[in-house]
């Protein structure tokens, strides 16, 4: 057998460089590079190997969590056909990636995590940053990755790579099981040499399957759709991952079935497609939510039916409502007692369009869809142009951003009041034009996620929409965007703290306690002094970005034009009217209210809550 003598780290990189995926006859190199930060736990192993493998580029970041977000942003924009590996030292560098791992796994996005680990040899334990346990020597902080990884392994011997790496690739390229794959790499093993079989480094092309639905389930689904009078299709992230937008548009045009989109699925149809009724669920449009309420059949495509999509199980009120679910993951396809089509979205939708030839929703239903859609567009126009002075509402900032952006551009966001407002208001024109991380809704995802998205598709202008709270959590990757010459436009809404959780707090009868950015007042000892004097513009500039403060909407529009003309990352800071919010549209979200309280306002909120819960259904 022909062998190559390499360290574990060198062998790992040699393998990664030769992994490709193929879908629809097109091949992609799977790993675009390695993101991370060096420390004593990886510099001599992975660090050394990267230095002699410059064709697998290394991108240093500011925070390991951000590295994973960047890989996720890249993988999501690439429809899971490409990703990055992330390297860290041992201890804090490794555990910084745990949040990113959870985010990736929840969103079903492939990332490879390579946390350094303590000496396998053990004779020098405890090493710097080692967690010791009196009960076993076989535990460490990297065990924290187990519940948040789809595949987890620790490489105690160099030859274990041979059996671990194919499992890693199976998970990362799986349409149903993609998520974080974690290989914990003890620092001594990383540097240890072994005679690896040459065969390990041959080019491998992993086929991304498009599974077809089974005949019997398919026939039942067709019957259910043909019998439906008020069907609604719920488009989830799986539609985009599968690149099924065209198939979906044809299905809807042929059948007249309207579409509501989840956060991950938004942009599955262009907003002006006649059957697109926009966002559905807790942050849904009036149009989609009314259709959901009365639907007798819901066709879920590539959705996990999260609580936001089902409005905490209150969205679908027809007592006889049934579900058909198309999903590559059997787990999701069976949810809500669905007729399960365990299949690729594009394959299943194309087959359904053929099998449903001649079927079309009744004209009355078609008219209802048209009028609801028109009413909704009027509502968006109203919210885009409220004319508030001197500070605009957030909806007007969104409107101005939408008007400034082009049809091919991309919007990135994740947490705060932004996802809810954008889900309702953003008029997505092209697949992946709307990049929302709402599986984990992780504050701090936005900037690194956007850098990853831009790396995946440099042809798009990438707009990041985030709050002051989330900005403060992870502004440091602006430095990485400067380092890599990756330009993004960051719109920072300054509303002195958490408008979202502040609003939620008020609705729970808690008066916004602990959600505003104010100094502790000496008289009261409480956080009710002046607003915190944070200069976001100076902060962004200090990190290397161009920074503009926009006073009012007119200045904001000019700032957007300036940002577009520049070739480096630009942060636009705009203060908004915190208390003018985009309303909800006949929907609800379950956040349990205290059952007993000293506050009358909480008791009132609890009474409303108990009333609202009566609408919850279990769809068994
Ligand atoms: C890492 C993380 N911590 C906490 C939360 C809970 N959370 C959701 S939104 C939010 C406030 C976000 O504030 P900001 O970015 O200013 O947006 P705004 O609410 O003002 O729109 C918090 C704390 C979260 N989603 N992620
Ligand atoms: Mg805020």
> Which of 63, 68, 418, 500 to mutate to test ligand 1, by most ligand atoms within 8 A of the CB atom?
500
Taking the CA of 512 as reference, the closest ligand is 1
Question: Would you list the DSSP string of 566-612?
Answer: -SS-EEEEEE--TT--PPP-S-----PPPSS-S-HHHHHHHHHHHHH
> 549: alpha, beta or left, given left = phi > 0 and alpha = psi -120 to 50?
beta
Residue 578 has pLDDT above 90, yes or no: no
Q: Can you tell me which atom of ligand 1 is nearest the CA of 495?
A: 20
Q: Can you tell me which atom of ligand 1 is nearest the CA of 467?
A: 15
Residue with tokens 């009358």: 600
* Alpha carbon distance 266, 237 (integer Å): 8
Q: Can you tell me which atom of ligand 1 is nearest the CA of 394?
A: 21
> What is the 470 CA–ligand 1 centroid distance (Å)?
6
Confidence of residue 579 (pLDDT cuts 50, 70, 90): confident
Q: What is the pLDDT of residue 190?
A: 98
> What is the 445 CA–ligand 1 centroid distance (Å)?
11
Q: Can you tell me which atom of ligand 1 is nearest the CA of 473?
A: 1
Express each pLDDT in 187-229 by its tens digit.
Answer: 999 999 999 999 999 999 999 999 999 999 999 999 999 999 9
Mean pLDDT of 564-570: 97
For the chain, the first-to-last Cα distance in angstroms comes to 57
Q: What is the pLDDT of residue 93?
A: 98
Q: What is the pLDDT of residue 504?
A: 96
Supply 9's token pair: 């780290």
Tell the burial category of 123 from Cβ atoms under 10 Å away from its Cβ (0-12, 13-18, 19+).
exposed
The one-character DSSP state at 54 is: T
**Best CA proximity match to 158, nearest among 33, 3, 1:** 3
Residues with CB under 6 A from ligand 1: 415-418, 441-444, 466-470, 495, 498-501
Residue with tokens 């609003």: 503
* Alpha carbon distance 440, 304 (integer Å): 13
3-state secondary structure 451-492: HHHHHHCCCCCEEEEEEHHHHHHCCCHHHHHHHHCCCCEEEE
Mean pLDDT of 581-604: 97
The angle, 0 to 180 degrees and rounded to 10, between the axes of the packed helices 245-255 and 345-355 is 20
> Which of 66, 464, 491, 498 to mutate to test ligand 1, by most ligand atoms within 8 A of the CB atom?
498
Per-chain mean pLDDT for the chain: 98
Contact call for residues 80 and 28 (beta carbons, < 8 A): no
The one-character DSSP state at 143 is: G
Taking the CA of 503 as reference, the closest ligand is 1
**Best CA proximity match to 448, nearest among 410, 488, 402:** 488
User: Could you tell me what percent of the chain has a pLDDT over 70?
Assistant: 100
Residue with tokens 């548009």: 249
Express each pLDDT in 292-326 by its tens digit.
Answer: 999 999 999 999 999 999 999 999 999 999 999 99
The contacts of residue 482 (CB under 8 Å, 6+ apart) are: 543, 544, 545, 568, 569
Q: Can you tell me which atom of ligand 1 is nearest the CA of 444?
A: 1
* Alpha carbon distance 387, 554 (integer Å): 11
> What is the 107 CA–ligand 2 centroid distance (Å)?
24
The one-character DSSP state at 432 is: T
Q: What is the pLDDT of residue 486?
A: 98
Q: Is 412 helix (H, G, I), strand (E, B) or coil?
A: strand
Ligand 1 atom 10: residue of nearest CA = 416
Mean pLDDT of 572-599: 96
> What is the 501 CA–ligand 1 centroid distance (Å)?
7
Q: Which residues of 58-97 are buried (b: 16+ CB within 10 A; e: fewer)?
A: bbebbbbbbbbbbbbbbbbbbbbbbbbbbbbbbbebbbbb
Ligand 1 atom 2: residue of nearest CA = 443
> What is the 308 CA–ligand 2 centroid distance (Å)?
21
> What is the 584 CA–ligand 1 centroid distance (Å)?
18
Taking the CA of 447 as reference, the closest ligand is 1
The one-character DSSP state at 407 is: T
Supply 609's token pair: 């809550």
Ligand 1 atom 12: residue of nearest CA = 416
Ligand 1 atom 1: residue of nearest CA = 443
State how far Cα 246 lies from the chain centre.
22
Q: Can you tell me which atom of ligand 1 is nearest the CA of 500?
A: 19
Sheet of 151-154: strand order equals 58-60, 31-36, 83-88, 111-117, 180-186, 151-154
Express each pLDDT in 94-109 by its tens digit.
Answer: 999 999 999 999 999 9
> What is the 581 CA–ligand 2 centroid distance (Å)?
12
Contact call for residues 277 and 271 (beta carbons, < 8 A): no
262 HSE (CA, 13 A, CB side): 28
Supply 188's token pair: 């001594």
> What is the 251 CA–ligand 1 centroid distance (Å)?
38
Mean pLDDT of 483-498: 98
Q: Can you tell me which atom of ligand 1 is nearest the CA of 414?
A: 25
CB atoms within 10 A of CB 387: 8
Mean pLDDT of 278-287: 98
Confidence of residue 58 (pLDDT cuts 50, 70, 90): very high
Express each pLDDT in 210-220 by its tens digit.
Answer: 999 999 999 99
* Alpha carbon distance 212, 347 (integer Å): 6
């Amino acid at each position: 057998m022909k062998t190559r003598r390499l360290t574990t780290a060198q062998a790992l990189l040699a393998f990664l460089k030769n992994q490709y995926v193929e879908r629809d006859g097109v091949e992609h190199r799977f790993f675009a590079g390695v993101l991370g930060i060096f420390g004593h736990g990886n510099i001599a192993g992975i660090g050394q190997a990267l230095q002699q493998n410059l064709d697998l580029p290394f991108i240093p970041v500011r925070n390991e969590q951000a590295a994973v977000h960047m890989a996720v942003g890249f993988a999501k924009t690439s429809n899971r056909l490409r990703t990055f590996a992330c390297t860290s030292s041992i201890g804090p560098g490794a555990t910084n990636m745990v949040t990113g791992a959870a985010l990736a796994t929840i969103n079903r996005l492939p990332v490879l995590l390579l946390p350094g680990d303590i000496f396998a040899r053990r004779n020098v334990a405890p090493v710097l940053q080692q967690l010791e346990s009196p009960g076993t020597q076989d535990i460490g902080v990297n065990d924290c990755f187990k519940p948040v990884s789809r595949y987890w392994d620790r490489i105690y011997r160099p030859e274990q790579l041979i059996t671990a790496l194919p499992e890693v690739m199976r998970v990362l390229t799986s349409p149903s099981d993609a998520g974080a794959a974690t290989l914990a790499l003890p620092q001594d093993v990383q540097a240890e040499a072994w005679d690896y079989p040459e065969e390990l480094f041959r080019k491998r092309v992993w086929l991304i399957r498009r599974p077809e639905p089974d005949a019997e389930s398919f026939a039942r689904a067709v019957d259910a759709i043909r019998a439906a009078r008020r069907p609604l299709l719920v488009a989830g992230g799986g539609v985009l991952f599968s690149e099924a937008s065209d198939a979906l548009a044809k299905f809807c045009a042929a059948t007249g079935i309207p579409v509501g989109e989840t956060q991950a699925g938004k942009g599955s149809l262009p907003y002006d497609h006649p059957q697109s009724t926009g966002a559905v669920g807790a942050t849904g449009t009036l149009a989609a939510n009314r259709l959901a309420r009365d639907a007798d059949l819901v066709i879920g495509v590539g959705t996990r039916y999260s609580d936001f999509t089902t409005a905490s199980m209150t969205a679908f009120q027809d007592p006889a409502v049934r579900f058909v679910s198309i999903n590559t993951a059997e787990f999701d396809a069976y949810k809500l007692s669905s007729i399960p089509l365990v299949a690729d979205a594009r394959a299943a939708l194309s087959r359904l369009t053929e099998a449903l030839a001649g079927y079309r929703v009744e004209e009355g239903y078609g008219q209802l869809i048209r009028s609801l859609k028109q009413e909704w567009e009027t509502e968006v126009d109203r919210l885009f142009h409220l004319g508030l002075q001197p500070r605009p509402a957030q909806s007007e900032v969104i409107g101005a951003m939408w008007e400034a952006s082009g049809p091919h551009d991309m919007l990135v966001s994740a947490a705060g009041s932004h996802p809810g407002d954008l889900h309702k208001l953003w008029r997505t024109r092209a697949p992946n034009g709307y990049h929302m991380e709402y599986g984990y809704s992780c504050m701090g995802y936005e900037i690194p996620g956007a850098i990853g998205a831009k790396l995946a598709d440099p042809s798009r202008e990438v707009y990041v929409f985030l709050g002051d709270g989330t900005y403060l959590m992870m502004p440091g990757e602006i430095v990485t965007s400067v380092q890599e010459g990756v330009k993004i436009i960051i719109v920072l809404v300054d509303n002195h703290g958490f408008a979202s959780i502040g609003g939620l707090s008020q609705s729970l009868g808690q008066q916004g306690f602990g959600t505003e950015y104010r100094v502790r007042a000496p008289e009261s000892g409480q956080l009710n002094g002046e607003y915190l004097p944070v200069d976001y513009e100076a902060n962004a500039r200090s990190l290397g970005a161009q920074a503009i403060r926009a006073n009012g909407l007119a200045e904001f529009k000019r700032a957007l034009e300036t940002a577009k003309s520049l070739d480096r990352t630009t942060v636009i800071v705009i203060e908004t009217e915190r208390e003018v919010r985009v309303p909800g549209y006949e929907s609800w979200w379950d956040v349990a209210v205290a059952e007993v309280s000293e506050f009358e306002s909480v008791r009132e909120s609890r009474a409303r809550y108990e009333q609202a819960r009566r609408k919850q259904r279990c769809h068994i």
